[in-house]
């Protein structure tokens, strides 16, 4: 339903949100998310291009989120790497249909619209502040001895406040 | 959101529902749906394998729906050619997660589930009986001088009754 690329981008974004104050290298993100480093590198480039992630140069450089996790939605992450495509004109190219979809394509587009709305309403902060006992990516090796829980608690406050 | 194969299968199924009483050849369905004949042939094979479409041999042979359009859902057609995949276990293979998804994968799975439910609730008969003035595939060349409207009116009665 969503592509592998989009799912990888979401893992990377969640990882960056968890370690919000620490720039992470591609290799570090790859180790936390389980995404192959080469693939991840391309995904991160797309996220940087869309201004959702920032690349900081230098010895302690790496990637950080471009905005607060409480204002970054699943939809933005997905659309930066593999945009959700609504059906806007008749896929059969029937001229008399044009932008007025037939019931078949209207029904399909309604389903796509539901997913779009659902993703637009979910922020990264909400995902990390979820009451679930299971934290995204939590059982994978942690990075640079930083305890992601500290960041998560901060995100919980942000999500509660906003 | 749904694959090209699934969209082609839906076009073919809608076409067969429109001409419910007339077996149609691959070439006829291709001409109505605008799907390339070679691609369509594979799609039809999958639908036959799933018992959603029947292949009738002989001089006046062709493809017909395997069930009434009022009992055939979009979900069944889609799942016969390119199944909608729910997320049932952690995509990262984290053992402690197992079938208990983290909030990220739970959120994605919820969106997939919404689409699944929406498609399960939509029958081919409903699509053709829709009050929309635009009929699926209607502006494409009609087949064998059969007037699809007659069939559609019958489907409207079926949908109203069921």
Q: What is the pLDDT of residues A17-37, one digit of tens each?
A: 998 778 999 999 999 899 999
Query: Which of A91, A97, A132 has the CB atom closest to B139's CB atom?
Result: A97
Angstrom CA distances, B157 to B23, B151, B162, stand at 22, 10, 9
Summarised one tens digit per residue, pLDDT across range B98-130 is: 677 888 999 999 999 999 999 999 999 999 887
- How much is the pLDDT for A120? 97
Question: B117: Cβ–Cβ under 8 A, 6 or more apart, which residues?
Answer: none
Question: Are the beta carbons of B143 and B34 closer than 8 angstroms?
Answer: no
Residue A113 forms contact with B (CB below 8 Å): no
Residue B120 forms contact with A (CB below 8 Å): no
Is A139–B94 a contact, with Cβ atoms under 8 angstroms apart?
yes
Smallest CA–CA distance, residue B130 to chain A, in Å, is: 6
Q: Residue A144's pLDDT band (boundaries 50, 70, 90)?
A: very low
Residue B87 forms contact with A (CB below 8 Å): no
* DSSP calls for chain A: ---HHHHHHHHHHHHHHHTTTS-B-HHHHHHHH---HHHHHHHHHHHHHTTSEEEE-STT-EEEESS-GGG-BHHHHHHHHS------S-TT--TTTTTS--HHHHHHHHHHHHHHHHHHT-BHHHHHT-S-SPPTTTTSPPSTT--HHHHHHHHHHHHHH-
Query: Which of B128, B132, B140 has the CB atom closest to A92's CB atom?
Result: B140
- How much is the pLDDT for B72? 97
* CA–CA distance, A128 with A13 (Å, rounded to integer): 11
Write out the two tokens for A138: 């939590």
Which residues in chain A (26-85) have CB-CB distances under 8 A to chain B? 33-34, 74, 84-85
CATH fold label, A4-135: Arc Repressor Mutant, subunit A (1.10.10)
A64-78, A130-144, B37-51, B82-96: segment of lowest average pLDDT = A130-144
- Cβ-Cβ contacts under 8 Å, A93 against chain B: 34
Question: B30: Cβ–Cβ under 8 A, 6 or more apart, which residues?
Answer: B36, B37, B40
CATH fold label, B4-136: Arc Repressor Mutant, subunit A (1.10.10)
The ranges assigned to domains in chain B are 4-136
Write out the two tokens for B144: 């064998």
Residue B119 forms contact with A (CB below 8 Å): yes
Residue B16 forms contact with A (CB below 8 Å): no
Is A108–B11 a contact, with Cβ atoms under 8 angstroms apart?
no
Residue B136 forms contact with A (CB below 8 Å): yes
Residue A117, pLDDT above cutoff 80: yes
Residue B156, pLDDT above cutoff 70: no
Angstrom CA distances, B18 to B40, B81, B82, B157, stand at 17, 20, 23, 14
Output the pTM of the full model: 0.81
* CA–CA distance, A18 with A149 (Å, rounded to integer): 8
């Amino acid at each position: 339903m969503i592509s592998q690329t989009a799912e990888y981008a979401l893992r990377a974004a969640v990882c960056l949100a968890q370690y919000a104050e620490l720039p992470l290298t591609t290799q570090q993100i790859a180790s936390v998310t389980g995404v192959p480093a080469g693939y991840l590198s391309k995904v991160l480039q797309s996220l940087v291009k869309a201004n959702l992630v920032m690349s900081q140069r230098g010895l302690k450089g790496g990637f950080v989120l471009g905005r607060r996790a409480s204002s970054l939605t699943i939809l933005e992450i997905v659309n930066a790497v593999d945009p959700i495509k609504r059906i806007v004109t008749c896929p059969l190219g029937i001229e008399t249909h044009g932008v007025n979809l037939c019931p078949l394509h209207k029904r399909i587009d309604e389903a796509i619209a539901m997913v779009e709305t659902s993703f637009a309403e979910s922020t990264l902060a909400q995902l990390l502040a979820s009451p679930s006992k299971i934290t995204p990516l939590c059982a994978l090796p942690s990075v640079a001895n930083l305890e992601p829980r500290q960041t998560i608690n901060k995100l919980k406050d942000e999500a509660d406040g906003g």
